[in-house]
């Protein structure tokens, strides 16, 4: 292990960067012949070409606190980082053009840069807040995938002891599950000096599996499902309400204890997941606002049901497409099973070669991965979505009062975006966050707030009793 010079990695917070040094963590692992990109990587590469490599979605930022029971110095932390990269060939992989095609090129040895940032003194939070700032800075510059390892590390050090380890991972190499598995192994290496189990499948292994006949047939089934689904979708969803604002896309967040309690109550009563309840609520509001019987919703699918995929260090997640038909005007409770079945169908057909999918859509005269998608992208990214809320019984007065305490905020804006609207369910103190990022011609902040409050109100009404159709009012009447 070595430390030398001042950092040339993306700048840490200004007060600390002048004192940062760059260390290296040598690694060595089994040789691998490499492979083409996985289907998940190809999907992300399409997104990079659409939005540019600087788009925030292309890095995953994580912070690992130093183990409490051991004293962790810099050399020990560097050895753990080197062992981690040695263990996982995905972390030793660059994406390079070979023979006119992008390929995963795996190195059998090398050095991982690690930024070492001294803290002036130990802090009450162990440097956790500063570590989050460092993670943001390390993720600010796009990865150069042809020459850079797909992860960046920083150590925050006070009194010669490591307090926090910052890890920024390229989303081209890992998805959210793989990122958690990498951090699990890092913690084991920090505490025990080894990760006892044999390493799981790596990204190049997954790409070789995808080249087989079985998965090619699965891809073709997915292509047929998507083409059939697109023919069932309405041409438009939300109506335009005004001119485009600047920036064109605006993210808005409703923080709601009421929506959280209501969604969990319906899920318990109807024996479905709270994600299914939220998905149905969003579909219901979109249907009411659009005046359409059928709602198309995209969602992210982890594609980890097969044994060999469960702990793979790879980017496996891809988009799934749900088609929710509400033409028969069901009650909210009656619609939940069909929403669940629509989600299952989406999950079954969310593993495919995106280049094959694009070619099939082009041949059918259908849009794919270009322009702004006119339908909704729904993503539940809560860390523990099915954690039980306190108490089994709902008090109507208390729940209605909680609605009045919900807070709305306008967050960041974007000049370019893939979706006309994206709905995210996020963790928030004392409740959940419902966030919508929308095209301001259709969802300027005041309309976005009304949309989110309609979702919240629908959930509360559904929790308090049977909710016949229409579940919520059309946009014009709201």
Name the one residue in this structure whose structure tokens are 């001119």.
243
Q: Which domains does the chain have, with CATH numbers?
A: 2-209 (3.30.559.10), 214-477 (3.30.559.30)
Name the token pair of 222: 């997915």
The distance of Cα 420 from the centroid of its chain, to the nearest Å, equals 18
pLDDT attached to residue 74: 97
Calpha distance 113→167 (Å, rounded): 12
Greater confidence (244 vs 50) lies with: 244
**Percent of the chain topping pLDDT 90:** 80
Q: Strands 373-380 and 407-414, how do they pair?
A: unpaired
Closest CA to 163 of 174, 172, 154, 171: 154
Instruction: Please give the average per-residue pLDDT across 347-352, as a whole number.
Output: 97
Whole-structure pTM value: 0.89
Interval 381-422: pLDDT, tens: 998 787 755 445 688 999 999 999 999 999 999 998 989 999
Calpha distance 13→135 (Å, rounded): 10
Query: Whats the size of the chain, residue-wise?
Result: 478
The distance of Cα 171 from the centroid of its chain, to the nearest Å, equals 9
- CB count within 10 Å of CB 272 equals 18
Instruction: Please give the average per-residue pLDDT across 324-346, as a whole number.
Output: 97
Name the token pair of 366: 């259908």
Q: Which helix (H) or strand (E) holds 422?
A: strand 419-428
Would you say 376 and 332 are in contact if contact means Cβ atoms under 8 Å apart?
Answer: no
Question: What ranges make up the beta strands (E) of 271-317?
Answer: 294-301
Identify any residues that bridge with 431 across adjacent strands, giving them in sequence order: 428
Residues 6+ apart with CB under 8 A from 91: 84, 85, 112, 149, 150, 151, 173, 182, 313
Would you say 199 and 87 are in contact if contact means Cβ atoms under 8 Å apart?
Answer: yes
The distance of Cα 59 from the centroid of its chain, to the nearest Å, equals 10
Interval 416-449: pLDDT, tens: 898 999 999 999 988 899 999 999 999 999 999 9
Distance between start and end Cα atoms, the chain: 63
Interval 103-157: pLDDT, tens: 999 999 999 999 999 988 766 788 999 999 999 999 988 999 999 999 999 999 9
Q: Which helix (H) or strand (E) holds 455?
A: helix 445-464
């Amino acid at each position: 292990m070595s430390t030398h010079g001042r950092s040339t990695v993306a700048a840490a917070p200004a007060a600390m960067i002048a004192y940062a040094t760059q260390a290296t963590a040598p690694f060595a692992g089994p040789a691998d012949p490499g492979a083409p990109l996985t289907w998940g990587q190809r999907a992300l590469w399409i997104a990079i070409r659409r939005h540019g490599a600087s788009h925030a979605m292309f890095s995953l930022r994580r912070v690992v606190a130093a183990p409490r029971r051991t004293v962790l110095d810099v050399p020990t932390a560097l050895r753990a980082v080197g062992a981690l990269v040695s263990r996982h060939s995905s972390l030793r992989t660059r994406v390079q053009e070979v023979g006119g095609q992008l390929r995963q090129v795996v190195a059998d040895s090398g050095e991982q840069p690690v930024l070492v940032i001294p803290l002036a003194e130990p802090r009450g939070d162990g440097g956790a807040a500063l570590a989050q700032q460092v993670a943001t800075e390390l993720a600010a510059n796009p990865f150069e995938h042809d020459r850079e390892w797909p992860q960046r590390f920083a150590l925050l050090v006070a009194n010669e002891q490591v307090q926090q380890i910052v890890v920024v991972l390229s989303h081209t190499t890992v998805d959210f599950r793989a990122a958690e598995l990498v951090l699990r192994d890092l913690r084991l290496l920090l505490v025990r000096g080894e990760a006892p189990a044999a390493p799981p499948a790596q990204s190049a292994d997954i790409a070789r599996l995808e080249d087989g006949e079985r998965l090619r047939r699965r891809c073709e089934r997915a292509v047929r499902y998507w083409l059939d689904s697109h023919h069932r979708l309405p041409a438009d969803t939300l109506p335009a309400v005004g001119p485009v604002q600047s920036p064109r896309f605006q993210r808005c967040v409703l923080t709601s204890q009421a929506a959280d309690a209501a969604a969990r109550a319906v899920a318990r009563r109807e024996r479905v997941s709270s994600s299914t309840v939220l998905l149905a609520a969003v579909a219901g509001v979109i249907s009411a606002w659009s005046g359409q019987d059928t709602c198309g919703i995209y969602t992210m699918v982890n594609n980890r049901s097969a044994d060999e995929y469960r702990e793979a260090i790879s980017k496996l997640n891809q988009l799934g497409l749900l088609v929710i038909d509400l033409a028969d005007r069901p009650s909210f409770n009656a619609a939940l099973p069909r929403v669940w079945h629509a989600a299952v169908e989406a999950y079954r057909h969310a593993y495919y070669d995106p280049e094959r999918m694009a070619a099939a859509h082009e041949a059918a005269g259908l849009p794919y991965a270009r322009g702004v998608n006119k339908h909704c992208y729904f993503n539940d990214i809560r860390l523990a979505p099915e954690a039980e809320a306190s108490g089994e019984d709902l008090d109507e007065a208390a729940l209605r009062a909680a609605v009045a305490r919900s807070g709305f905020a306008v967050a960041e804006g974007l000049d370019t975006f893939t979706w006309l609207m994206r709905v995210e369910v996020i963790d928030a103190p004392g409740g959940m966050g419902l966030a919508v990022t929308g095209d301001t011609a259709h969802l300027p902040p005041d309309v976005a707030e009304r949309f989110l409050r309609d979702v919240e109100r629908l959930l509360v009404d559904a929790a308090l009793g049977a909710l016949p159709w229409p579940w919520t009012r059309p946009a014009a009447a709201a």
